[in-house]
Structure 1
Amino acid sequence: MGSLRESLNRFNKQQEKCQSTLTSIAASAAGSKASNRTTTTPAPRAVPASTLSKSPVPAVKFSNDTERLQHINNVRKSPVGAQIKKVIDLLFESRQSFTAEQINEACYVDVKGNKAVFESLAKNPKVNYDGKRFSYKSKHNVRDQKELLKLIRTFPEGIAVADLKDAYPTVMDDLQALKAGRQIWLLSNFDSQEEIAYPNDPRVPIKVDDELKQLFRSIELPRDMLDIERDLQKNGMKPATNTAKRRVMAQNGNILNKPKQKKKKKTEISKRTKLTNAHLPELFRNLNG
């Protein structure tokens, strides 16, 4: 047992010695690497103070919006009338007031920089200019259905729908709504076929008896317009048409006889004619006496 313990102690001592040797080797290797790093590391360069103070210059960006720029150029080179129409369309569709700068941003028409465009726009009957802003000017200044009905009632003889179309964007819808509500009548003109708006005055409600309606509808009018015109004349009324004249014109093809052109009389040479070519006597052998 004693010999075994001695051998074990010797083994432990050898292990400790080996461990210390390995530790010293590792420490020396680490020190040599650190010294190599310090010797090989280059010294930092001195940077000028002016370089540090200056901020980096941003990269220059060029616009790629070539198509838009070309469109602006085409608008401004177009005729004055085309530019005026472009502005009026903008004012009509938006129904807002615009300054010259706002018009330029909206439709690229340079009102401020083009004297001809500015003067034509300021004097245009469809444009209202208050010295600063431009706005659309309709024939009748109404803005909604209530004002529209009030306007129509001031025209008992009727007002043309064409004069109301540009009053405001939904005016045609309001006309149909007033017609559906039996507040106005929309009738077509016999001659021009354009619609006329007539007021249906609610203060004068008229109820027609059914028997009277039937009697009115049972009356047969002459089928020939000549007979209708004769009946009107018998009752002291002047017909608006002249069927007899129209039929004669239709038969003749509505072509007036052209005046006959007078034939030009040929001038003949006689002995009394003053001759200027006396040196050519052979031309004047056969002269009329």
Structure 2
Amino acid sequence: MALQEKLEKFKKQQESCQSILTSIAASNKARPTQKVTPAMPPAISKPPPPAVKFSTDTERLQHINSIRKSPAGAQIKRVIDLLLETRQALTPEQINEACYVDTNANKTVFDSLRKNPKVNYDGKRFSYKSKHDLKDKSQLLYLVRKFPEGIAVIDLKDAYPTVMEDLQSLKAAGQIWLLSNLDSQEDIAYPNDPRVPIKVDDDLKQLFRGIELPRDMLDIEKDLQKNGMKPATNTAQRRAMAQVQGISSKPKTKKKKHEISKRTKLTNAHLPELFQNLNK
């Protein structure tokens, strides 16, 4: 009987729990459902674009305007300098973009460039034209050898970008001479080739031979310094050092030439011209 009572009591507890769960489920259905949205991360704020500096743009436009209003000669020089620096064939549009000279809008500048001896125009592009069409050191040497009387370096400077370095290289190799013209202070390139005949005027020869040089080296060095040249020797210093060391700076007297006499043993009897002064 005790077991039966316990079973009955357990069933009542089960029914009570079931009714409680049913009531809870019914109350949840009656409530409006709320959707829980996940929290979004805060948006990353982009930095604002940099403000346009109208002052810089205004300065550039003023610069372009000053170039285009400058004299035609200044604009032509600007274009020629550009062509010399780049060594490229450029269209009028490329020239305008590079140096702000609008050749299409300025007929005077366009026509002057087309006729300029330093500019080549093929109908579409402008390019730099040097006086001598050279490409390298070998062509440079060949040209200099065609001018035995010398060619001005100023006429070679714009041949190609490294022409001045090649001139110094040819000079160092002893293939050419680079001498200065005293009148114009410009360098002249001469070929150093024994096969090239060099003509010298008779008046210049007579003038050269008529110059009397000082007998003392000190005076020669002073004259060289007076004419802007650096002497290769320093006689004053050399003589001072000789005096300190007790060496006489006086020239040595030549020994009396030994004359051949009858008692001299002749070993070159087959050369009679050596014994014309033989004392009888």
TM-score for the superposition, normalised by structure 2: 0.59
Contact 1:84 1:121 (8 Å CA) reproduced: yes
| Partner SS, residue 72 of structure 1 | helix
Distance 2:88 2:58 in 1: 30
Match of 1:68 in 2: 60
Distance 1:15 1:116 in 2: 109
Give 1:203 deviation, angstroms: 4.8
Equivalent of residue 12 in structure 2, options 10, 14, 20: 10
Match of 1:221 in 2: 212
Match of 2:128 in 1: 136
Distance 1:200 1:154 in 2: 12
Contact 1:91 1:135 (8 Å CA) reproduced: yes
Equivalent residue pairs, number: 182
Give 1:158 deviation, angstroms: 0.9
Equivalent of residue 91 in structure 2, options 85, 88, 99: 99
- Alpha carbons of 1:78 and 1:190: their partners in 2 closer, same or farther (altered >3 Å)? closer
| Partner SS, residue 189 of structure 2 | strand
Equivalent of residue 191 in structure 1, options 149, 163, 183: 183
Note the alpha carbon deviations across 1:211-237, whole angstroms, 9 max, x for none.
xxxxxxxxx9335xxxxxxxxxxxxxx
| Counterpart code for 1:221 | E
Are residues 1:163 and 2:155 paired?
yes
Match of 2:22 in 1: 20
| Counterpart code for 1:5 | L
Contact 1:178 1:184 (8 Å CA) reproduced: yes
Q: Please list, as runs of the form range in 1=range in 2, the aligned pairs for 1:1-289 lying within 5 A after superposition.
A: 1-30=3-32, 65-201=57-193, 203=195, 221-223=212-214
Q: CA RMSD in A?
A: 2.7
* Runs of 4+ residues over 6 Å off in structure 1: none
Contact 1:99 1:134 (8 Å CA) reproduced: yes
Distance 2:77 2:182 in 1: 33
Distance 2:136 2:68 in 1: 36
Structure 1: state its 5+ residue gaps. Answer: 35-60, 205-219, 224-289
Structure 2: state its 5+ residue gaps. Answer: 36-50, 197-210, 215-280
Identity %: 61
